Amino acid sequence: MKQVPAALGVFLLAAAVSASVKAQQNTPLPAADGAPESAAQKDTKATDLDRVITTGVRSPKAIDKIPGAITLVSKEEVSRTLLLTEDATAVLARTVPGYSEASQAMSNTGENLRGRIALRLFDGVPQGSPLREGTRNATFTDMGIVDHIEVINGPSASEGIGAAGGIINYISTVPREEGSTFRFLTRYSTQFEDDSAGWKVGANYTYKQDDYDLVLGLARIDRGMGYDADGVRLGMNTSGSLNDSVADNLFVKGGWNFGENLSKRLQLSYSNFKIEGNGDYIQVDGCRYEPGYCEDPHPNTSEKGHIFGSKAEFNDFQQVNVQYSDGDFLGGTLNLNAYWADQAMRYPPENGSDRQDPLITPNGPDGLIWDQSEINSDKLGFRPSWTKSQFFGVEGLELRTGVDWVKDKADQRLALTDRVWVPPMEYTSIAPYAQLSWDVGDFTFSGGFRREDGEMKVADYTTTWYRDRVNVQGGKLEYTENLFNLGAIWNITDEWSVFAAYGEGFGLPNVGIPLRNIQCPNDPDDTKPDGCPGDPPQSVDSTFRELQAVVVDNREIGVNWRGPTASFSASFYDSESDYGTSYAIDPDTNDYVLFRAPTRIKGFEASGDWNVTDAVKLTALYSRIRGKTAFWTEDPEGRWDAGGLNKPMGALDVNPDKVVLSARWKFLPNADVTFGSTTQISRDLSGSDTRPDGREYEYEEHTKGYTLYDLSGNWMVEKVGRFSIGVENLFNKQYILTWSQVPGFRNYWAGRGRMYSFTYEYTF
């Protein structure tokens, strides 16, 4: 790994985050976990403390001072979504304009932010691995322990690699009241089918006294089977289903404030989450309409049964997070953060052609090999940072600087037959950064630079029989990139402001997929030899083109208005990558494969809310995203360049237009009801192009939209507790999930029909 001089880390400028004034949070956020105010926190008092984030800036900063687009998802919005469903990403689909439709599964396949993969964090710790994106990194904790969610919309390098689409940071609960508070919650959900019932029991304890505070959370969720609106049992998701599963969560966090004026704080947290399938059902494949083949189309379903020899699919996530802050260190605020995370994801069994091997005895009743892939990753990170207000004695000038170090290891195996599928990989990165912002009258200017300096090591390995049992020589790849950002905000009046921003994001291209797909070249007869006779030796270097980093440039302009009873924000963005990533369907395996070509994504989003009266509040958001890529990549032999941006990016990458509306009525001081709707709009895409050698390409995609309604209500009874009801898909609409409308391997899933949830909560 290349070494960066220490002096350079002090002066390098950081990649900034994008952030809009559109915060949706209504509940004030405390100083970081109850710590005393630092100088940086005091600087935010001129703005609203309920509009403060730490994601991307490490210490609290008012979002009014950050150019770009941010969504703050409040505890109230998280709690309301939990009345409807325990799906971890459902709240994002309802509150974040650029976030796609929720998958309703343990897998988050098809879910993205502004058409690109987002970096997901839990209290600042990355979930999942950029080395092998397994679409499982959205299910990592009990949502009942989440206080709020900070979402950075658009490419950002501020929290490290993997944020081509933005950053989603789930912030854990903090003690808000002196003394002890105990919260007990039970929930029962059902679709009134014989095996659809599910339940949750959770308990949170918080303690805050003098210099100490503590959070303890325990929860268990037992989910039954899901049914579509026609009363047909839903299919088991081939990448991991929430149906027929059990999830357990343990979370502990303790903090100690000390030193002069309690300006120092030490905090330690531990999270242990596991969701595991019961294995009581197997999928029965459906079929899409195709003349002569499927005259009676129907989505996947499930039936009771167990695949012989298979193990339960699971997500098993653990992390330890240590934080230290000093509000008076060399005239500024010092933050030190060290973390360890261990994450494992096992997938359901499959008998596809890429699982077969004539040297292995079949274990399935159909005479085929059934196998399960398993991704394991662990990471260590250390992130020191320092914030200085009135830098060089200049009023309004602020410096935020630091360095990020991370070591991430990952591999993927076929668990039942103990075969290597993706070899062990290790990525080590050091990234010094700094960010300057300057308040001058009605203007705020910001600029920054981050140096990403990483190295990936891959061990020697042998591919599977399906990929010709190629002996692949491992090696090292270096990733270095200079990442810039610039931004400006003009506060036209106390209510109106506009912003313009430019930022860059950096990520790895799911390197596990091209590594596992290396096979013998010049083998048109698919003879599956041992090794590659007569061909040059295969090595990691031979896939360098596919393993190049993803660097995204994002330009954005926006306007924000905040009045006494209403607010509105809108932004337009344009992001592009010279060597981006998109997903395609392999015609041989029907599986997803990575496609490396130029990409460009443009979008418009708007949101607003209006407190009509003290009792009635209306909210709305709209998102429109369009993406283009090329039909072909640059020819390795130099015969042609990559194609033009003529292929539309479909539902696997870019979500259709979305409209979300809600109305809340507080009809009694202790009771309220909320009615909401989410609309996915129908979309038709098509494109064509001709390569210089005469090969013609065409692409066409048609997705059908739908509108779902939901209803929730709360009634607080003094000294008894809060009683709540939630009804998801209120009018029992039958629909096919948007990303599942695109042909793929066993992916034809209907969405969930009407679901009733009854919640009781008691706090004392």
* CB-CB neighbours of 536 under 10 Å: 8
Residue 57 has what pLDDT?
79
Residue 589 has what pLDDT?
54
| Cα-based distances in Å from 30 to 38, 205, 213, 215, 562 | 12, 18, 13, 15, 22
83 with 32: CB under 8 angstroms? no
Which amino acid, 414? Answer: L
Phi, psi of 181 (to 5 degrees): -130, 130
What is the token pair recorded at 8?
Answer: 């350079």
- End-to-end C-alpha distance for the chain, whole angstroms: 53
What sign results for the dihedral spanned by CA atoms 113, 106, 249, 271?
negative
Place of tokens 């001129």: 46
The model carries a pTM of 0.90
| Cα-based distances in Å from 173 to 95, 123, 147, 269 | 19, 10, 4, 11
Residue 582 is part of a domain; what is its CATH number? 2.40.170.20
Interatomic CA distance for residues 370 and 357, integer angstroms: 11
**Strand ranges (E), 138-263:** 146-153, 166-172, 179-190, 198-209, 212-223, 245-258
Q: Tell which residue, 206, 199, 170, 171, has the closest CA to residue 185.
A: 199
Q: Tell which residue, 679, 655, 677, has the closest CA to residue 741.
A: 655
What is the token pair recorded at 49?
Answer: 């403390």
What is the token pair recorded at 360?
Answer: 């292995």
Give residue 532's region: left, alpha or beta (phi > 0; psi -120 to 50).
beta
Residue 745 has what pLDDT?
75
Burial (CB count <10 Å: 0-12, 13-18, 19+), residue 6:
exposed
* b/e burial code for range 644-655 (CB count within 10 A of at least 16 → b): ebebbbbbbbbb
What is the token pair recorded at 517?
Answer: 């797909």
71 with 65: CB under 8 angstroms? no
3-state secondary structure of 33: helix
Interatomic CA distance for residues 279 and 310, integer angstroms: 8
Tell me, yes or no, whether 659 lies in a domain. Answer: yes
Phi, psi of 494 (to 5 degrees): -65, -20
Interatomic CA distance for residues 506 and 483, integer angstroms: 8
Residue 518 has what pLDDT?
85
90 with 41: CB under 8 angstroms? no
Tell me, yes or no, whether 1 lies in a domain. Answer: no
Q: What angle do CA 597, 598, 604 make, to 5 degrees?
A: 130
CB within 8 Å of 594: residues ≥ 6 apart: 509, 510, 513, 514, 546, 581, 583
3-state secondary structure of 217: strand
Beta-bridge partners for 479: 454
Q: Strand pairing of 721-728 and 696-703?
A: unpaired
Quote the radius of gyration of the chain (alpha carbons, Å): 26
Beta-bridge partners for 202: 185, 219
Q: Strand pairing of 119-122 and 166-172?
A: parallel
Give one DSSP letter per residue of 298-328, joined into a string.
B--EEEE---TT----EEEEEEEEEEEEEEE
Residue 634 has what pLDDT?
83
Interatomic CA distance for residues 287 and 681, integer angstroms: 23
Which amino acid, 419? Answer: R
| Average pLDDT along the chain, 764 residues, taken 10 residues at a time | 34 32 33 37 45 82 86 93 93 94 88 90 91 87 95 86 87 93 97 95 95 97 96 89 95 95 95 94 89 90 87 94 95 96 93 91 90 94 95 93 95 93 94 94 94 92 90 90 94 95 88 84 53 70 75 94 95 91 61 76 96 97 96 85 92 93 97 97 96 94 97 96 98 95 86 97 95
Interatomic CA distance for residues 490 and 653, integer angstroms: 34
Q: What is the DSSP letter of 289?
A: -
What sign results for the dihedral spanned by CA atoms 82, 84, 89, 91?
negative
Interatomic CA distance for residues 568 and 606, integer angstroms: 7
Range of 445's domain?
6-763
3-state secondary structure of 244: coil
CA 175 to chain centre: 26
* Number of structural domains found in the chain: 1
